[in-house]
Amino acid sequence: MAPVTGVGEEMHALVERLYPLCRSITGDGVRATLRIVGEYIPLQVHEVPTGTPVLDWTVPEEWNIRDAYIADATGKRVVDFAASSLHVLGYSVPVSATMPLSELRRHLHTLPEHPAWVPYRTSYYRPEWGFCLSQETLDALPEGDYEVRVDSTLADGHLTYAEHVVPGQVSDEVIVSCHVCHPSLANDNLAGIAVAAFLARALAEETPYYTYRFIFAPGTIGAITWLARNAERVEKVKHGLVLACAGDPGRLTYKQSRRGDAEIDRVMRYVLAASERPHSVNEFTPYGYDERQFCSPGFDLGVGSLSRTPYAGYPEYHTSADNPDFVSPRAMADTLAVCREAFGVLDRNRRYLNLSPYGEPQLGRRGLYDSLGGRSDAKQAQLAMLWVLSLSDGEHGLLDVAERSGLPFDTVAAAAGALDTAGLIKA
């Protein structure tokens, strides 16, 4: 795993700052989140009205919440939204009532297997209200009447998402997507947002080959909305990566695209293996994050998903235990480093044509051997040149060369650059 760096600490600070906000698939919590992210990278924010058809879905009503609580007979709040946004069932309709605990129980959600934790629950597409609390809190409630209040609105409004574009040398795009719809969950939401923002900043300091489009959108409905609004230009998307669960202590996990042989799949497999990091590569399944929307048959984009421990793969998933203490600067810095390594390979993985294909060209008289003098890896660099020349047939990319030769990709790319400059190959 990458060492703790300043950027890791900065990402963790962003997670801590975003953590208290109450996010959902719509509403002011999403806007507040994007305003903060916008302090790190410029964002183009989009507002899509309620009722807008998006593929087979419709943009829902906007949900906002000001306060919510359960109070006992003395007026003491035994469950309080102000203490944690997880305490309210997401998209709860307004309620103001007094009822006995026996009636209230059917609106309460707990985790008996983890009695001190509060679960995360939602009810996006059916009118319901409810509260989430620890089993310990529920067990301590005496029978009797309780005041129940959810001060929320569910009305026509907008779905909000944002984009940030890092211009490249070509208009072909790589999309990087993360979801911005979960409330106080540090790993499953905020770590991915932080890594995406700092990845965008890092790419902006370079001159990437591809154009990189970062999408900050609510899960499922946000990706569907983006696809519906970009259906005519989606052919520009050549590669993509969904970031989620990017800060926990587990090993890195890459979930392949539906194709399984997309270039991003090959690049991620290579980079993870070459780095010798502990990792897993999983086959595609149509369940998970928004890779399933981008990979749906009608679009069939080459989009995979990078996480550490996958969704639902750790006990803290969708609970109050997924807090800023659960994610670390070291893990987020490591996830960011892998993304940068992968996009570095993706950006340079081009095919070349040998312009002197009949026999081996004389490298010495072109100064290519002399340029290696004194280098500790001179023999490796010379071998890389020979491999690049051998496989520059217009059919093989530099990743093919690295995989077949067993040489580091950086060495292969440097060899290709030297041969290109010498006029022996062309992209």
pLDDT per residue over 376-395, tens digit each? 567 888 899 999 999 999 99
What's 356's domain CATH number?
A: 1.10.10.10
Q: pLDDT digits over 42-98, tens only?
A: 999 999 999 999 999 999 999 999 999 999 999 999 999 999 999 999 999 999 999
* pLDDT at residue 379, as a whole number: 83
Tell me the pTM. Answer: 0.95
Domain termination residue (choose one: 126, 155, 184)? 155
Q: Please check the confidence at residue 374 and state whether its pLDDT lies above 60.
A: no
The least confident of 3-12, 119-128, 336-345, 401-410 is: 3-12
pLDDT computed for residue 142 by the predictor: 97
> What is the predicted pLDDT for the residue at 366?
85
Are 320 and 20 contacting, i.e. CB atoms less than 8 angstroms apart? no
pLDDT at 237 over 80: yes
> Is residue 218 domain-shared with residue 135, that is, in the same domain?
no
Closest of 245, 346, 261 to residue 253, by C-alpha:
245
Residue of 261, 253, 164 lying closest to 215 (CA atoms): 164
Indicate the residue among 348, 383, 413 that finishes a domain: 348
Number of folded domains that form the chain? 3
Q: Over pLDDT 70: what percentage of the chain?
A: 97
pLDDT at residue 373 tops 80 = no
- What average pLDDT does this structure show over 159-166? 98
Do 233 and 382 share a domain, yes or no? no
Q: Is residue 244 part of a domain?
A: yes
Residue 104 sits in the same domain as residue 219: no
**Residue 4 binned pLDDT confidence (cut-offs 50, 70, 90):** low
Range of the domain at 391: 351-426
70 forms bridges with which residues in the sheet? 79, 148
Is residue 1 domain-resident? no
Q: Is 396 annotated as a binding residue?
A: no
Q: Are residues 56 and 91 in the same domain?
A: no
Q: Which residues contact 214 (CB under 8 A, 6 or more apart)?
A: 41, 163, 164, 165, 166, 175, 176, 177, 178, 196, 197, 199, 200
**Residue 182, annotated ligand binder?**
yes
Asked if residue 371 has pLDDT above 60, the reply is no
Residues 6+ apart with CB under 8 A from 212: 165, 166, 168, 173, 174, 175, 176, 200, 203, 343
> So what's the pLDDT on residue 5?
66
Does 233 share its domain with 372?
A: no
Give pLDDT tens digits for 273-327.
999 999 999 999 999 999 999 999 999 999 999 999 998 999 999 999 999 999 9
**Residue that is last in its domain, among 119, 140, 155:** 155
Residue 368: its pLDDT value, please?
A: 84
Q: What pLDDT shows up at residue 36?
A: 98
46 is in an annotated binding site: no
pLDDT grade for 1, boundaries at 50, 70 and 90: low
> What is the torsional sign of CA 243, 165, 411, 405?
positive
Mean pLDDT over all residues of the chain?
95
Q: What pLDDT band is residue 357 in, cutting at 50, 70 and 90?
A: very high
Does residue 2 register a pLDDT over 70? no
> 112 and 162: one domain?
no
